[in-house]
Homo-oligomer: A and B are copies of this chain.
Amino acid sequence: MKNILSLSFLFIVALAFSQTKSKGFAVHSTDGKFQPYEFNRHAVGDNEIKIDILYAGICHSDVHHVRGDWGKEEYPMVPGHEIAGKVSAVGKNVTKFKVGDYAGVGCLVNSCGHCEYCKAGLEQYCKEAVLTYHDHDQFHNNETTQGGYSNNIVLTEKFAIKIPKNADLKKVAPLLCAGITTYSPIHYAGVKKGNKVGVAGFGGLGHMAVQYLVKLGAEVTVFDITEDKRADAKRFGAVKYVNVNNPEDLKDLDNKLSFVISTIPANYDPNLYLKMLNINGQMAIVGLPPFEKMPIIPIDKLIWQGNRKVFGSQIGGIPETQEMLDYSVANNIYPEVEIIPATANSIENAYQKVLDGKVKFRYVIDMQTMK
């Protein structure tokens, strides 16, 4: 008995020493106030890598999680699932990375690896998928996962994305969420050159969707609720901009588009866009408002707009995320970012701009400036 107690004590001491010390910025309630926060991540396992985080994007869904818009959350919470950094340690079995490589992390850090979704490279739908933050990691003693507004992260190499050496690193982080979330449904829907398509909501996700669609050779119409983004839409290559608050703009749009992607993170009427689809047209829904404002599709609208398909899409699997990152860098497709310093105050200011719809188009925290 005494021996067992001694061994347990040694194990706990060893565990404490081998854990990864981390620091970042956390909220402690739905009030959205950030504070410096020190915490432990698990030790770097044999198949894992440690990434020193250089840049972390601010996604609208970070704001939703911080505010508890999608249900009760646990605090303290370090948000951030758009991560770009440099590998600083590798486990003994790691083959994909070496120390000094650049690596990215998106919304996922692990999954079961053997279910039909994992086998199909759609790990985001795995029932045991571990989210980068606001989750518990059942593969590591149910550790609370904490995100990218921090100085490092530890995860299995499988879920880390290789960042090409020639990438514009400060712009890469948002590709891991905003990039893959739009890239995946655009390719799933089979958009082709010459297709007339729509992008509803022209923010962080929307401006990525426009770039991928323009690159494919589609004719893009952008929809948003303000005049402020009209020039930007044209600058990104859209052929048309529709301010949906302007009735004149909404004329003659029915049955014109073969594909619409809705990135809108607020309440809206999906039927406005369903009506715009032409025969066999498809609508992808990726934007997600707070639960109490969730838009609905009455099934009769689907029947009257028959032969139009609607589908939801959640980020993308790991193989497709790597494909998206390689494609984006090769084609010089990046988010338009505003780099902000790693202080509680600058993060809070950025959140307010996101809530006010004033962000153009993505805030990225320079984690190297954290004190």
Contacts and interface: CB of A to CB of B under 8 A. Distances in A.
B303 A299 contact: no
Contacts of A296: 296-299
A120 interface: yes
B298 A120 contact: no
A307 interface: yes
Given A116-B255, A117-B279, A255-B116, A311 B300 contact: no
A17 interface: no
Contacts of A313: 303, 306-307
A282 B312 CA distance: 12
A230 interface: no
A139 to B, nearest CB: 22
A307 B188 contact: yes
Interface in A98-126: 116-117, 120, 122, 124-125
Interface stretch (A44-52, A89-97, A218-226, A285-293): A285-293
Interface residues of A, number: 38
B288 A300 contact: yes
Contacts of A307: 122, 125, 188, 311-313
A64 B302 CA distance: 18
B298 A306 contact: no
Contacts of A188: 307
A278 B120 CA distance: 11
A175 to B, nearest CB: 19
A136 interface: no
A357 to B, nearest CB: 20
A295 interface: yes
A314 interface: yes
A123 to B, nearest CB: 12
A306 B312 CA distance: 5
A308 interface: yes
Interface centre among A117, A286, A288, A303 (most CB of B within 10 A): A303
5 contacts: A117-B279, A288-B300, A294-B298, A306-B312, A307-B313
